[in-house]
Amino acid sequence: MSTLVVVGTQWGDEGKGKIVDLLTEYADVIVRFQGGNNAGHTLVVDGEKFIFHLIPSGILNDDKLCLIGNGIVIDPSIFIQELEGLAARGRPVTSDRLRLSSNAHVIMPYHRALDHAREVAKTEGKRLGTTGRGIGPCYDDKIVRNGIKVADLLDPELFREKLEDNLKEKNFYLTELLNADPLDFETIYGEFQNYAERLAPFVDNVSILIDEAVRNGKNVLFEGAQGTQLDIDHGTYPFVTSSNTVAGAACCGAGIGPSKIDRVLGICKAYTTRVGAGPFPTELEDAVGDLLQKKGDEFGSTTGRRRRCGWLDGVVLKDAVRINGLDGLAITKLDVLSGLPQLDICTEYDIAGTRYSCMPANIRQINSIRPINMTLSGWEEDLSLMKSLNDLPKKARDYLKIIEDMAEIPIVLISVGPGREQTIFLKNPFE
Ligand code: GDP
Ligand code: IMO
Ligand code: MG
């Protein structure tokens, strides 16, 4: 038996979906534990592309159990849409392969409306550039104890009461403060009664299912969403998402104790991207940044927005190793760097003449970071068909060695393209 948590080490979109899909071969159970449909995880299987927002990236492997934990915020319409999308592509999913925690919180139409209205009300420079999916307002309600859980949705009386209470407050907030339109009770009630019926067969106690799997010696894979620098506590606050994205969140968000977690794998893109607003110390607002964006096809999987691109940030990497307790790294998109004559890696930050080796807490300080870079020479070769470490050009291996030395943990996997087969395995991350 082994349990493995997979998390993003940067600002999301590191390639978690691809890696989780690959590692599903060694797993029996795959669990999402935080975030919601702000996530967009891309899988390319036999040339066919799938993007999952809510359903775990293990779902394409037929005999595995996929679980959506209590730490998730779930938009029922997206859940149903993903199920229908899979069925339409000849991959129907029934409740014997997918379960949803009764403790997960439900994203309501007023959460999306508030997300949108709050962004509109903010001035330029203060806007977060959220995905607009209602994630933040749904977690707000969870924390202030006004939230509607999946279990509440399945109880028509309780749901009616909670929806009435919430709408009273939200409509006041929307109309009086945010200058937005009010929402209608009956419309939402009817719509969500339909969702309740569709969701009911999937609803279960996810913590118990994980416990059973662990007791029966199964391998359990926890699939993180977003990345360490988007974590509500450890990220570049307030330009973060509204959940804990770090490995520790797997315990709270799935209902498993820390003593049962064996390994933590960090996914690190060979350069850095960020989608949405917020500080990005190694951002390249020049031709090299444009080249990474184009070559890496860096568009958001959820919103289609152009991702900002920059050099690999060693400070961010070292923070991720410490905060997540990483014991292995998967380096993705190494192929994208081919053809660049020189490659920079940020090793430290300079802020007003003082050196920093971790991300500061103060946003004004973060905004004034000047990255201190080391420069390596690049390589010309196309890596996308390479199958082993020895195939890689020496310069690419040097680049990886610098990453390992900085992180002080081994690289266990190298990804050289979006396809399953474009992967160099150095070690089974479950072992
Ligand atoms: P996630 O949110 O961490 O799952 O990452 P996304 O799916 O949002 O973004 C990663 C993008 O890079 C997707 O389009 C993947 O298909 C693609 N991708 C993943 N690994 C590689 C790789 O090694 N090389 C290239 N060129 N593309 C990759
Ligand atoms: P995956 O799992 C990249 C970003 C948004 C915005 C900020 C807050 O695919 O890596 P939110 O809607 O969560 O309130 O937006 O977080 N963001 C992501 N960026 N990848 C993601 O997920 C993201 N999920 C949220 O762009 O800047
Ligand atoms: Mg993504």
Is residue 6 within 8 Å of residue 223, measured between CB atoms? yes
pLDDT of residue 209: 98
pLDDT of residue 177: 84
pTM: 0.98
Buried b (16+ CB within 10 A) or exposed e, 263-297: bbbbbbbbbbbbbbbbbbbbbbeeebbebbbebbe
Measured from the Cα of 20, ligand 1's closest atom is: 4
Q: Annotated catalytic, 53?
A: no
Using the predicted structure, report yes or no on whether residue 1 has a pLDDT greater than 80: no
How high is the mean pLDDT of the chain?
97
Q: Annotated catalytic, 13?
A: yes
Closest CA to 378 of 280, 304, 270: 270
- The pLDDT confidence band at residue 146, using thresholds 50, 70 and 90, is very high
Pick from 130, 234, 239, 307 the residue to mutate for probing ligand 2's pocket: most ligand atoms within 8 Å of its CB.
130
pLDDT of residue 372: 98
pLDDT of residue 302: 84
- The pLDDT confidence band at residue 180, using thresholds 50, 70 and 90, is confident
pLDDT digits (tens, 9 = 90+) for 379-411: 999 999 999 999 999 999 999 999 999 999 999
Residue 26 Cα to ligand 1 midpoint, Å, equals: 20
Q: How far is CA 119 from CA 122, 183, 259, 293, 332, in A?
A: 5, 18, 40, 26, 32
The fraction of the chain above a pLDDT of 70, given in percent, is 100
Residue 52 Cα to ligand 1 midpoint, Å, equals: 12
Domain extents for the chain?
3-95+205-425, 105-201
CATH number, span 3-95+205-425? 3.40.440.10
Using the predicted structure, report yes or no on whether residue 164 has a pLDDT greater than 90: yes
CATH number, span 105-201? 1.10.300.10
Report the alpha-carbon distance of residue 364 to residue 367 in Å, rounded: 5
Using the predicted structure, report yes or no on whether residue 194 has a pLDDT greater than 80: yes
Among the listed residues 21, 41, 234, 313, the single catalytic one is 41
Tokens of 340: 């660049």
The fraction of the chain above a pLDDT of 90, given in percent, is 96
pLDDT digits (tens, 9 = 90+) for 258-278: 999 999 999 999 999 999 999
Average pLDDT, integer, range 279-303: 95
One fold for 3-95+205-425 and 105-201: no
Sign of CA dihedral 42, 136, 368, 401: negative
Tokens of 320: 């991720």
pLDDT of residue 303: 87
pLDDT of residue 301: 84
Average pLDDT, integer, range 401-430: 96
Is residue 55 within 8 Å of residue 98, measured between CB atoms? yes
Q: Which residues surround ligand 3, an ion (CB under 5 A)?
A: 13, 40, 301
pLDDT digits (tens, 9 = 90+) for 244-258: 999 999 999 999 999
Contacts 24+ apart (CB under 8 A), 45-52: 45/21, 45/419, 45/420, 47/419, 48/89, 49/418, 50/89, 51/17, 51/301, 51/302, 52/17, 52/82
Report the alpha-carbon distance of residue 202 to residue 180 in Å, rounded: 35
pLDDT digits (tens, 9 = 90+) for 294-338: 999 999 888 889 999 999 999 999 999 999 999 999 999 999 999
pLDDT digits (tens, 9 = 90+) for 95-123: 999 999 999 999 999 999 999 999 999 99
Pick from 19, 32, 38 the residue to mutate for probing ligand 2's pocket: most ligand atoms within 8 Å of its CB.
38
pLDDT digits (tens, 9 = 90+) for 48-76: 999 999 999 999 998 999 999 999 999 99
